[in-house]
Amino acid sequence: MRASGCRGVRRSWARSGSALTTAATLVVALGACGGSGDSADTTATAAPTSTVLRVAEQDFGGIMLDPAVSYGVARQGYGELLMTTTADSRVVPALARSVERSRPTAWKVELRRGVTFQNGKAVDGEAVAAALNRQLSKRAGLKDVLPGAKIAASGRLEVTITTPKPDPQVSVKLAESDSFPVYDVSAIEKAKTDAGIAGAGAFTGPYAIKTLTAKKMVLERFDGYRMGTPPLAGVEYTFVKDPPARLAAVRSGQADIAEAMNTVGVKRAVASAGDVLFKLSDAPLDGIRLYFNLTRAPFDDAAVRQALLMAIDYETIATRFFDGTFDAPTGLFPGTYPDNKPTIATDVAKARSLLDAAGWTRRGSGTRSKDGKPLEFTILTYTQRPELKTAALALQSELAPLGIAIKINDQSYDSKLFADLAGWGIALYVDYALSGTGQPDANLPNYLLPDGFANFGRIDDRKLTSLLRELATAPDDATRRRVIGEVQDVVITQKAYVGVVAFKRDGVVVSKDWRSYVPSVDTAAFKVVDFETHPG
């Protein structure tokens, strides 16, 4: 697998809104793609300005900067990955010049020439291998991602990753948003504290962390950035816990962008305020996945599961219950994923006949029943994701006319609640729409294999297990895509093991000076700032 570095075209297009700028960007970027790639890549972007972007960011109670324990290093403009994922799910090189499979068990990472960390040290094979090895040894759970992998510099600008068994997904795993950022290991270890890391220039992104306190992180332009001079003079993150306070910050002119604002009601609040804008990301990141409890009636019957998936009016949920800030699903994956198979569709009449045929009949306007037992169950949701309660309420109101009675149990997240199969008929769970890599491969085993940690409904299907094993060792992309297609057929069309209620796009509130800002989903994580972010 080899991918060329055409990064930068898509978002410039989306953000500038000017045909002339777009054309110029396209010409220059295409030129860069076809070039030798021996030097640090360059792409057209806005000219450097004195603007400092002020972001009202979520507050998790203190940011951690050591990539071995922190998440989303590539999200805020200071860190980068070797590979990245585009909104249409292509995995393309970022910091790497190329990543290709040299043998069935070996991958060669070629690095760009002339790239440095923000502290001036060269980003060479040794430095990159040190960062990846430190992640493998120190980051909890990462050894399972590349089990038994050996990573070593095989040239000045080359790293070789060797796996004990053939692993077709190594290049994709390098795009995983939380796993393998590239950083200066010695600078991180010398700094010891987050405040020390802040000034160490240990990363490679377009903006370097200057200061960090409990409530603020200040980034300044990294003039030596590989793609040229970044457009902004800096980025200032203020950590704000309360979403209304983030909104107020933009409305009062204290911030340009408020993060993580796709909660029910914000779009309407913004519309009524009129002085700021609500913007959605260019692709969904999360999915509200619906798990059937396969161990108990009524969902031990595939016909009932299929009927229920057909009875849901997804479009209404997305547009009315979620104000149009969520996407209605057409399949197991978002519509932006090229291999998504249209397997989900609303057909209430067919749902009724399937339920009747399965013996769940209805007298008058009451609840359906079978052998004297009513068709009623509990939907389990958790309070940390308020959208789940909204989705549950939507299902409750949509399925009631079909004679299906639903109770909702909304609790603080606890894996024990999901493990207690006596307590729920359907569980709703927010998960990556694809996975942290922008591809579904890494996530499918988690909820479809018998030992998957998110296999809440106890799916245990031989054919599915066999398909997923084949996917894990697929020798080429054609095989991979065929298997992913077959998985969708089994999971939705044939067995209806799980469903999707809606896909969630990330939402931000921006001031009018930033009207062209579009939240990006590079690296399968919402990226606040990157090289192309500029005002306008």
Partner 1 sequence: MTSPAGTASVDAPETIERGFGLPRPRRPRSAGSLRGLRSRVLQTAATLLGASVLVWAIVPLAPGDPAVATLQARGAANPPPAAIEAVRGQLGLDRPLPLQYVDWLGRALRGDLSRSYRTDVPVAVELVQRLPATARLAGAALLICLALAIPSGLIAAAFAGRWPDALLRAVAVVGSGLPGFVVGLLLIEFVVVGAGHGQALTDGSLAQVWLPAVSLALGFFAILARFLRAALLDALDQPFAVVARARGVSRPRLLLRHALPNAAVPFLQVTGYFVGHLLGGSIVVELVFNWPGLGSYVVGAVEARDLPAVQGAALVFTLFFVLSALLADLVARAIDPRVA
| Interface residues toward partner 1, by CB under 8 A | 56, 59-62, 64, 69-72, 75, 140-141, 143-144, 178, 194, 214-215, 238, 240-242, 244-245, 248-249, 251-252, 254-255, 275, 286, 384, 411-415, 417, 430-432, 446, 453-454
CA–CA separation, 55 and 389 (whole Å): 29
Instruction: Measure the CA angle with vertex 441, ends 440 and 443; round to 5°.
Output: 70
Considering the complex, what minimum distance in angstroms separates the CB of residue 413 from partner 1?
A: 6
CA–CA separation, 287 and 350 (whole Å): 25
> In this structure, are residues 227 and 29 in contact, taking their beta carbons and an 8 Å threshold?
no
Q: Which of 365, 47, 102, 20 is nearest to 229 (CA)?
A: 47
The dihedral over CA atoms of 168, 170, 171, 172, expressed in degrees to the nearest 10, equals 90
Considering the complex, what minimum distance in angstroms separates the CB of residue 141 from partner 1?
A: 4
CA–CA separation, 240 and 323 (whole Å): 24
Task: Name every residue whose Cβ is closer than 8 Å to that of residue 256 and which is 6 or more positions away in sequence.
Answer: 53, 54, 55, 250, 510, 511, 513, 514, 535
Nearest CB to partner 1, comparing residues 137 and 361: 137
Q: Which of 379, 355, 380 is nearest to 369 (CA)?
A: 355
Residue 138, Cα to own-chain centre: how many angstroms?
A: 23
Nearest CB to partner 1, comparing residues 75 and 495: 75
User: Crossing angle for the helix pair 477-488 and 462-472, nearest 10 degrees?
Assistant: 160
| Burial class (CB within 10 angstroms; exposed 0-12, middle 13-18, buried 19+) of 415 | exposed
The dihedral over CA atoms of 492, 495, 498, 504, expressed in degrees to the nearest 10, equals 10
CA–CA separation, 463 and 501 (whole Å): 25
Name the token pair of 454. 């998110």
> In this structure, are residues 271 and 509 in contact, taking their beta carbons and an 8 Å threshold?
no
CA–CA separation, 231 and 225 (whole Å): 11
Q: Which of 443, 455, 440, 452 is nearest to 498 (CA)?
A: 455
> In this structure, are residues 185 and 127 in contact, taking their beta carbons and an 8 Å threshold?
yes
The 8-class DSSP code of residue 524 comes to G
Considering the complex, what minimum distance in angstroms separates the CB of residue 117 from partner 1?
A: 22
Considering the complex, what minimum distance in angstroms separates the CB of residue 248 from partner 1?
A: 4
User: Crossing angle for the helix pair 19-34 and 9-16, nearest 10 degrees?
Assistant: 170
Nearest CB to partner 1, comparing residues 135 and 160: 135
CA–CA separation, 159 and 525 (whole Å): 25
Nearest CB to partner 1, comparing residues 399 and 468: 468
